Every structure is written in C-alpha cells, then in structure tokens.
C-alpha cells in the first residue's frame, strides 16, 4: 500500500485511513489471540482436573461422606431416575465425552490429524493470492 502511495495511486488521506484501519484490525486480532490463549490455558487446566477426578472417582466416592457423595453424583450425572430397582442415568459433559471415548476404535489414536475427504485428489480452482479489489 505504501508503494501505491508513492506511485500516486492513492492519496495521503486514503493512505492514512487505510493505515488506521489496518492498525485497528491488528489490535483486534492481538486481543482475540490473547483471549484464545487464555481459553486454551483454562481448557487444559480444566481437562486435567476432570481426568484426575475421573481416574479417582471410585476412591473419592467410597471415602466420602453422604453430602460429598451427593455432590460428586450431581457433578457427574444429570436426571438420575429410579424406577423400582432400575436406575436410569445421563452423564454431564465432559463425562459423556469420556464415556463415549471408550466406544471409539482403538486405532483412532493413530489417525493423522489432517484427514482429508476420502478420494480427494485436489483439482479445485487455482490459488490466486492477488485480491481483485485491493482497497475496497
């Protein structure tokens, strides 16, 4: 864009306006990145706590008082229903995901992270890095 200003393709007013717009957008992106980094950090801390709880749930439950057992059950389960001698349960997230993970095939852990569609051979339109309307 600076080259366009030097070449006279855009005037000083347009140049300063675009620089201001780009700086504002840059500040927005930096703020978004900071929020994502914080959320990422929080996710890993929470995931670690959930995994530790899941690994020790039986031990914690068996050694707890009645009120603590109730709290643990309320944390893990929702809509507990007793019908005679049968109990129906639904787990809360993220425990549902952990329970569902046991159903996954064992070789899922060996899959490539970049799974493309089956049979994809490319052939899309050519990549054009030059935008058609540079300043609009």
Domain co-membership, 73 together with 59: no
pLDDT of res. 110? 63
pLDDT of res. 33? 94
* Per-residue pLDDT tens digits for 44-101: 888 888 888 888 888 988 999 999 988 888 888 887 888 888 888 787 787 777 777 7
Provide the residue range defining the domain that includes 71: 66-102
Domain co-membership, 3 together with 57: yes
Domain co-membership, 88 together with 43: no
**Gap between the Cα atoms of 97 and 126, Å rounded:** 40
| pTM of the predicted structure, to 2 decimals | 0.43
pLDDT of res. 126? 53
**Gap between the Cα atoms of 106 and 102, Å rounded:** 9
């Amino acid at each position: 864009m600076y080259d366009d200003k030097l070449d006279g393709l855009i005037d000083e007013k347009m140049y300063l306006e675009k620089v201001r717009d780009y700086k504002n957008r840059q500040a927005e992106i930096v703020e978004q990145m900071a929020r994502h980094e914080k959320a990422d950090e929080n996710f890993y801390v929470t995931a670690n706590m959930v995994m530790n709880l899941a690994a020790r749930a039986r031990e914690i439950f068996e050694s707890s008082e009645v009120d603590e057992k109730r709290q643990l059950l309320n944390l893990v389960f929702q809509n507990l229903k007793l019908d005679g001698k049968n109990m129906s349960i639904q787990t809360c997230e993220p425990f549902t995901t952990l329970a569902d993970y046991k159903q996954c095939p064992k070789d899922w852990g060996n899959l490539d992270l970049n799974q493309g569609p089956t049979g994809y051979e490319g052939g899309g339109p050519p990549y054009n890095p030059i935008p058609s309307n540079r300043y609009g």
